[in-house]
Amino acid sequence: MLKSSVKNNIVLIGFMGAGKSLLSQRLSVRLNWTVLSTDDLIVKREGRPITDIFAQSGEPYFRAVEKKVVSDIARKDEIIIDCGGGVVLDPENLAVLKQKGVVFYLSATPEKIYQRIKDQTHRPLLNVPDPLARLEELLAKRQAFYEQADYTIDTNDNDWQRVCEEIEMIMSERAKNMSPDK
């Protein structure tokens, strides 16, 4: 009975370029767990890339589809949920995700994030003349939302193995603490 209350999924949140997708893939290989990416599910559902969704239908439309995708994410065990950077803006999304798993915020400074994403063009919110200023502004607005995660993991050093190990350690400690044998 206790088993049903064990939240056996990993949910990754954080700003664009925080390393969520990269880390999801690494964790997936290490743990042999499936990854569900909210962005991929949106693209599949809409049959068009995210830049087209923003350009043709606008951000509010994108957020509505994103919300449907979050609420539809299968309630399975042992999945990694890779969330788009803006998922947390809707408190109902975060509540759903907290029910489905343990939420990790991957944090990094604006400068570090900028270094990681400056040559990419698939994020409409950052396709502006001064992406670093936009990034700083958005990150400042979103910080409080991200900090509602169960755990914050610093990714500034790009040491993804250490980040994987930290997350795996937390998950296994939680599983131990919730074990019916305890």
Where along the sequence are the contacts to ligand S3P (CB under 6 A)? 16, 20-21, 39, 50, 84-86, 123-125
What's the closest the beta carbon of residue 13 comes to ligand S3P, in angstroms? 9
Q: Can you tell me the distance from the alpha carbon of 104 to that of 32, in angstroms, rounded to the nearest whole number?
A: 19
Q: Can you tell me the distance from the alpha carbon of 136 to that of 16, in angstroms, rounded to the nearest whole number?
A: 12
Nearer to ligand S3P, 142 or 174 (CB): 142
Nearer to ligand S3P, 90 or 150 (CB): 90
What's the closest the beta carbon of residue 21 comes to ligand S3P, in angstroms? 6
What's the closest the beta carbon of residue 67 comes to ligand S3P, in angstroms? 12
What's the closest the beta carbon of residue 177 comes to ligand S3P, in angstroms? 31
Nearer to ligand S3P, 7 or 20 (CB): 20
Nearer to ligand S3P, 160 or 178 (CB): 160
What's the closest the beta carbon of residue 160 comes to ligand S3P, in angstroms? 16
Exposed / middle / buried, residue 36 (Cβ in 10 Å: 0-12, 13-18, 19+): buried
Nearer to ligand S3P, 86 or 110 (CB): 86
CA distances in angstroms from 127 to 20, 120, 180, listed in the order given? 20, 9, 50
Instruction: Give residues with Cβ within 8 angstroms of 178, minimum separation 6.
Output: 2, 5, 6
Bridge-partner residues for 105, per DSSP?
A: 13, 152
Tokens representing residue 155 in the block: 């990714």
